[in-house]
Amino acid sequence: MNIQEFIENFAAQFDDTDVADFTAETKFKQLDEWSSLTALSVIAMVDDEYDVIIKGNDIINSETIQDLYDVVVKLHG
Amino acid sequence: MSQLTINNVRIAGMSACVPSTVEDNRTLPIYKDENDALKVIASTGIERHHKVEPGTTASDLTVKAVERLLDDMGWGPEEVDCLAYVCTSRDYIAPQTACVLQDRLKLRSDCCVFDLPFGCSGWVYGMSIVSSLMSHGTFKRAILVAAETNTQNRNPRDTTVRPLFGDAATATALEFDPDRSCPMNFMYGVDGSGFDAVWAPYGGIRNPVTPEALEEKEVSPGVYRRGIDMIVNGMDVFGFAIKQPPRSLKELIATFNIDVDSVDLLFLHQANKFIDEKIRKAVKIPPEKTPYCLEEYGNVTSASIPLTMVTRCQEQLSQAKPKHCLACGFGVGLAWASMEFYAGDVKISDLVIY
């Protein structure tokens, strides 16, 4: 499990945003394409890829992709 | 692990009633444009739902559904020994709605009636409770109602719920029949730490109705609610729904040694297509064995599994050879339950429009 792979998995949930726009420091909720539906795709992706369920508050309290990655690492144990 | 096996009871008939007014997600006033609406439809599978007029209650729809069921079954109301009313949108704070229904439906005054205020898991819980009472052998005929008017306890200006939820009432006729019944198996689950994933914070005793609880506020851009309106925390519900229902069904399958290939039909609570498809794939049941009615009726809470059976499986379930079925209900509580049952020669009424 590494941040680069997480960023790629995260970016795959978006249809219109350029993959190059995603870095660990991307403030994902500020992306034009971000919506409540993208949030659900991210939750499903984290379940599929890392076998953990993140909460709504984990997304609400995360600003960057790195923040969310840190939550997943912690839950993954 | 709480599990239960019940013998000697079978599903004899089913009916459902939906209100005549249809709200189409493509033309809802809450979207910027149709493209926004189409995105929601694509990800949830929900295209429209039926909606009561203000003043019509779940029990009004229930009366129509039960009257049709009794007619079609040839059961007199005086022959019903038990009526259970699964619903969270009750007519009054007191009494229980089932008491009011006893009089409206002309059931006997010694009939055993009660409310079961479950949400989306309610039909499965209700099946286990009513069937268990009947398995003693003295109740010969019972009716399990699963009904809800979701459009009345949610805010129409709450964009997170309006496209998803609809109204419906269903009635399931159960009979004590040692000769023709097959065992029903149940597994239960609950996580009360998620009580606020789907909830109405005000209106109970902990947070009574105050003038503030009746004020409509914009809680996030474009989302308006009052304190008494039902809140659905979509992200938490989603996380729960992709984890616990598959686990519950897998526990059911393992505990009762179910051969998944022999399953004819999987009935899932009609939450949304994205969630339900994840559950279906996790238990490896093919799509042709997993009927949906959410595209037409939305999420109708506890009524969603019986409404699917009535509107999508009328012919299959009426055949003499019983179909091997699994069902899983999950949601508000958070509570969930899974069951294995057989259903054949079920008298399913045509859908009643209120």
Residue B295 has pLDDT above 80, yes or no: yes
**3-state SS assignment for residue B335:** strand
Residue A18 lies inside a defined structural domain of this protein: no
Taking the Cβ of residue B39 and every Cβ of chain A, the question of whether any pair is shorter than 8 Å is answered with: yes
Residue A76 has pLDDT above 80, yes or no: yes
DSSP character at residue B213: G
B313 in Cβ contact with B265 (< 8 Å):
yes
Is the link from the previous residue into B201 a cis peptide, with omega within 30 of 0? Answer: no
CATH of the domain at A30: 1.10.1200.10
Token reading at B92: 């009054």
d(CA B87, CA B59) in angstroms, rounded, equals 9
Q: Which residues of A touch B233 (CB under 8 A)?
A: 56
Q: Where are the domains of chain B?
A: 1-354
Choose the mutation target among A13, A55, A71 for the interface with B, i.e. most B CBs under 10 Å. Answer: A55
Query: Whole domain around residue A51: which residue ranges?
Result: 3-13+24-76
d(CA B122, CA B128) in angstroms, rounded, equals 10
Residue B312 has pLDDT above 80, yes or no: yes
Of B39, B233, B239, the CB nearest to A37: B39
d(CA B111, CA B300) in angstroms, rounded, equals 28
Mind listing the pLDDT tens digit for each residue in B93-104?
Answer: 999 999 999 999
Taking the Cβ of residue B205 and every Cβ of chain A, the question of whether any pair is shorter than 8 Å is answered with: no
Residue A40 lies inside a defined structural domain of this protein: yes
Strand pairing category for B352-353 and B347-348: unpaired
Q: Which residues of B touch A56 (CB under 8 A)?
A: 233-236, 239
Contact B235 A56 (CB under 8 A): yes
Taking the Cβ of residue B234 and every Cβ of chain A, the question of whether any pair is shorter than 8 Å is answered with: yes
* Binding-face residues of B in 287-316 toward A, CB within 8 A: none
Residue B43 has pLDDT above 90, yes or no: no
Determine the pLDDT at residue B28.
87
Residue B32 has pLDDT above 90, yes or no: no
Mind listing the pLDDT tens digit for each residue in B90-137?
Answer: 999 999 999 999 999 999 999 999 999 999 999 999 999 999 999 999
Counting one residue from chain A and one from chain B, the pairs whose CB atoms sit within 8 A come to: 39
B329 in Cβ contact with B305 (< 8 Å):
yes
d(CA B280, CA B327) in angstroms, rounded, equals 11
B152 in Cβ contact with B54 (< 8 Å):
yes
Which residues, other chains included, contact B55 with Cβ-Cβ below 8 Å and sequence gap of 6+?
A: none
Which residues, other chains included, contact A70 with Cβ-Cβ below 8 Å and sequence gap of 6+?
A: none
d(CA B264, CA B344) in angstroms, rounded, equals 12
Instruction: Look up the ipTM and state it.
Output: 0.78
DSSP character at residue B61: H
Residue B1 has pLDDT above 80, yes or no: no
Determine whether domain B1-354 maps to CATH 3.40.47.10.
yes
Of B39, B43, B239, the CB nearest to A43: B239
Contact A40 B235 (CB under 8 A): yes
* Binding-face residues of B in 40-59 toward A, CB within 8 A: 40, 43
DSSP character at residue A37: H
- More confident: B343 or A14: B343
Of B43, B233, B236, the CB nearest to A37: B43
In which residue are the tokens 């699964």 written? B86
Contact B239 A53 (CB under 8 A): yes
Q: Which residues of A touch B235 (CB under 8 A)?
A: 36, 39-40, 43, 55-56, 59
Mean pLDDT of chain B: 96
Of B234, B240, B243, the CB nearest to A40: B234
| B136 burial level (CB within 10 Å; 0-12, 13-18, 19+) | exposed
Residue A59 lies inside a defined structural domain of this protein: yes
Share of chain B above pLDDT 70, in %: 100
Total domains, chain A:
1
d(CA B66, CA A63) in angstroms, rounded, equals 52
B81 in Cβ contact with B53 (< 8 Å):
no
Contact B235 A43 (CB under 8 A): yes
d(CA A54, CA B23) in angstroms, rounded, equals 33
Least confident of A14-28, B12-26, B206-220, B309-323: A14-28
Phi, psi of B237 (to 5 degrees): -65, -40
Taking the Cβ of residue A74 and every Cβ of chain B, the question of whether any pair is shorter than 8 Å is answered with: no
Stated length of chain B: 354
Strand pairing category for B3-6 and B335-343: unpaired
A24 min Cα distance to partner chain B (Å): 22
C-alpha distance across the termini of chain B, in Å: 41
A36 min Cα distance to partner chain B (Å): 8
Residue A28 lies inside a defined structural domain of this protein: yes
Choose the mutation target among B235, B237, B243 for the interface with A, i.e. most A CBs under 10 Å. Answer: B235
d(CA B197, CA B188) in angstroms, rounded, equals 19
